[in-house]
Structures are given as C-alpha cells and as structure tokens.
Chain A
Amino acid sequence: DAGVIQSPRHEVTEMGQEVTLRCKPISGHDYLFWYRQTMMRGLELLIYFNNNVPIDDSGMPEDRFSAKMPNASFSTLKIQPSEPRDSAVYFCASSSGHPNYGYTFGSGTRLTVV
C-alpha cells in the first residue's frame, strides 16, 4: 500500500493566487481529514469526510477555504485567494474508522504565501 499521497510537497505562491492541494487516501479508508499545522496553533482539524461526504467543516477558517471529495480516491483543499497567514503545513490523513486505529497521515504540503 502506497499510503496517503499528497501533492505537491512544497508550494510557494503569491498573495491573492489560488492554491489547490491534493490528496489520495488509502484505498478502503472511509474517512479523510485535512489538518493544518503551524507553530502558533499546532495541529488544527479543518474538515473531514466520511464516504466522500463532508461531516464537519467547523475548522475551516473562512470562506476562502473550500474542500471537495468527488470520489473515494481523491480530495482537494483549495484556498482562493491565498494570504500570507495561510502559510503552514497542510496534512491529509485517512482512516478506516475502526476505533482502535489512528489516522494514517500523508507527508504534508508545505505552503508558503509571499
């Protein structure tokens, strides 16, 4: 199993540009999560999906952020327009939903907005 695959690994963009982060979860995992990690705020849950349906998006900071999961093997997190304060590492994680198991995280996307 290839694990959770995120792309790109690094993204540098100018303020105001649209940014799209991508994630391929582990096959068979029904849950997909997007987290953001910063020094100041640690790991924050942005949104999570169950069977491609968004369940909890209360962590999405504002309307500039949107996430989709069009099918079981792909999800995107979009920021439009991007701002310097969005600079962070964005993690995607997936889970089978079994209560004893933790998430499997992707390698993360380091986003820098200049």
Chain B
Amino acid sequence: AQKITQTQPGMFVQEKEAVTLDCTYDTSDQSYGLFWYKQPSSGEMIFLIYQGSYDEQNATEGRYSLNFQKARKSANLVISASQLGDSAMYFCAMREGRDNFNKFYFGSGTKLNVKP
C-alpha cells in the first residue's frame, strides 16, 4: 500500500485565491511526522511546513497551513493568497517514528499552476 497518496496530479488557481493540495497517508505508528516540500522548475526541494502526529494545533508558516485530520489520515496543504511564484510541484512526505526514524516516504506530487 502507498504510504503517501496525492490524488491531484495538477491544479490551477487564480492569483490571490486560496488553494488546497490534498494528501492522505497510511501508517500504523502512533508517532509520525508529516511534511510538505515545494519543487520549483529550477529543481531544488524546499521544505515548507511540518506537522507532528501529537500536535493538536494545525501547523502554519506564513501563507502555508496544514489541515491535519488525524482520524481521516489526511494532511492537506493550504496556500492562502496564491502568488505567481507559488507555481511549482508540491510533495507531501511522512516520517514514521521508532524504527527507521528518519526514513521519509514521498507522494507523487501535485503540480500547481497559478494564473495571473
């Protein structure tokens, strides 16, 4: 089974609007972490935001927030007030706790296009 599933291969959003990128995960661990990365066309991978499995509040970093719904095993990324520079691939990732403490599993990514 896939550890991380991103069901939206591509999305469009109008500049200045908000957009939600979906991510669901599969783990039987109680302790885990969820991450989002941005990959612009230049190719580098940029860390955006982190959510721990025991965190009660949704994580926020500037215009990025993570909508964490533990019971549904979803960790959607919300980008508010989209900018042209947000056009990129976005990857959801999970780190499972305990064994293989630092091994990440990545989803297949969502390509976001912001329209002017």
When the two chains form the complex, which single residue of A50, A100, A103 contacts B104, counting CB atoms closer than 8 Å? A103
**A55 to B43, alpha carbons, bound, how many Å?**
27
Q: Report the separation of the CA atoms of residues A25 and B103 in the bound assembly, to the nearest whole angstrom.
A: 17
Say which size band chain A's interface belongs to.
20 to 34
Q: Which of B50, B97, B101, B103 is A102 in contact with, Cβ under 8 Å?
A: B50
Most B-side CB within 10 Å, residue of A43, A95, A97: A43
Q: Count how many chain B residues have C-beta atoms less than 8 Å from C-beta atoms of the other chain.
A: 23
Shortest distance between the CB of B101 and any CB in chain A (Å): 7
**Complex: how many Å from CA A50 to CA B101?**
11
A13 CB-CB contact with B under 8 Å: no
B106 near A42: Cβ-Cβ < 8 Å? yes
A107 and B43 form a contact (CB under 8 A): yes
Footprint of B on A, CB under 8 Å? 31, 33, 42-43, 45, 48, 50, 55-56, 89, 91, 93, 95, 97, 99-108, 110
Not counting A33-B104, A56-B100, A97-B102, a sample of 13 additional A-B residue pairs whose C-beta atoms are within 8 angstroms of each other reads A31-B102, A48-B102, A56-B103, A89-B43, A100-B50, A100-B52, A101-B50, A102-B35, A103-B47, A105-B44, A107-B44, A108-B43, A108-B44
